[in-house]
A and B are shown apart, each in its own frame.
Chain A
Amino acid sequence: MKRLMIGNQAIARGAYEAGVTVATAYPGTPSTEIVDDFSKYQGVYAEWSPNEKVALEVGFGASLGGARTLVAMKHVGVNVAADPLYTLSYTGVNGGLVLISADDPGMHSSQNEQDNRGYGRFAKLLVIEPSDSQEALDFTKEAFALSEKFDSPVMLRVTTRLCHSQSLVQEGEITKMPLKEYRKNEAKYVMLPGFARLRHVEVEKRMAGLREYVETSPLNRIEWGDRKVGIITSGVTYQYIKEIMPQVSVLKLGTVNPLPKQMIREFAGQVERLYVIEELEPVIEEQLKAWGLEVIGKSILPCTGEYSPELLEEKLLNVEPAVGYQLAEPIPPRPPLLCPGCPHRGVFYVLKRKRLIVTGDIGCYTLGALKPLAAMDSTLCMGASIGTALGMEKARGPEMARKTVAVIGDSTFIHSGITPLIDTVYNQGNTTVLILDNGTTAMTGHQDHPATGHTIQKTETAQLNLEGLVRAIGIKRVRQVDPLKIGELEKALDEELAFEGPSVILARRPCALIDKSTETSLIIDEEKCKSCKLCVKLGCTGIYWLEDKKKARINPDLCRGCGLCAEVCKFDAVVEGGAV
Chain B
Amino acid sequence: MIGSTTNILIVGVGGQGTLLASRVLAQAAVELGHDVKVSEIHGMAQRGGSVVSQVRYGSKVFSPIIKMGEADVIMAFEKLEAARYLPFLSKNGLIVINTEKIDPLPVMSGETRYPERLEEKIAEIIPKTAVLDATSIAEECGSPRAANIVLVGLVGRALGMPREFLAEAVQFLVPEKAIEINLKALTEGWNYLDNLPIKITRE
Contact = CB atoms under 8 A, between A and B. Distances in A.
Given A164-B42, A165-B40, A536 B109 contact: yes
A370 B106 CA distance: 11
A240 B39 CA distance: 13
Contact of A539 (B30, B50, B87, B109): B109
Interface in A124-182: 132, 161, 164-168
Nearest to B100: A557
A4 B36 contact: yes
Contacts of B107: 332, 544-545
Given A6-B40, A243-B2, A367-B47, A333 B110 contact: no
Contacts of A168: 30, 35-36
Interface stretch (B66-74, B153-161, B182-190, B191-199): B66-74
A440 interface: no
B126 interface: yes
Nearest to B116: A329
A541 B122 contact: no
A165 B46 contact: no
A371 B125 contact: no
Contacts, number: 193
Contacts of A537: 109
A288 to B, nearest CB: 24
Nearest to A443: B44
A15 interface: no
Question: For this complex, into which size category does the number of interface residues on chain B fall?
Answer: 35 or more
B104 A335 contact: yes
22 contacts: A4-B23, A4-B38, A6-B40, A108-B45, A161-B65, A166-B40, A167-B36, A168-B30, A322-B68, A324-B69, A324-B88, A325-B126, A327-B122, A334-B48, A336-B47, A336-B48, A337-B47, A337-B49, A536-B108, A537-B109, A540-B108, A541-B108
A372 B109 contact: yes
Interface of B: 1-2, 13-15, 23, 26-27, 30, 35-50, 61-65, 67-71, 80-81, 83-84, 86-91, 93, 102-110, 112-115, 118, 121-122, 125-126, 144
Contacts of A367: 44, 47
Contacts of A323: 68-69, 87
A543 B87 CA distance: 30
A322 B70 CA distance: 8
B42 A29 contact: yes
Contacts of A239: 62-64
A445 B68 contact: no
Interface-centre pick from B38, B44, B71, B83 (highest chain A CB count, 10 A): B44
Given A236-B64, A324-B87, A332-B80, A30 B50 contact: no
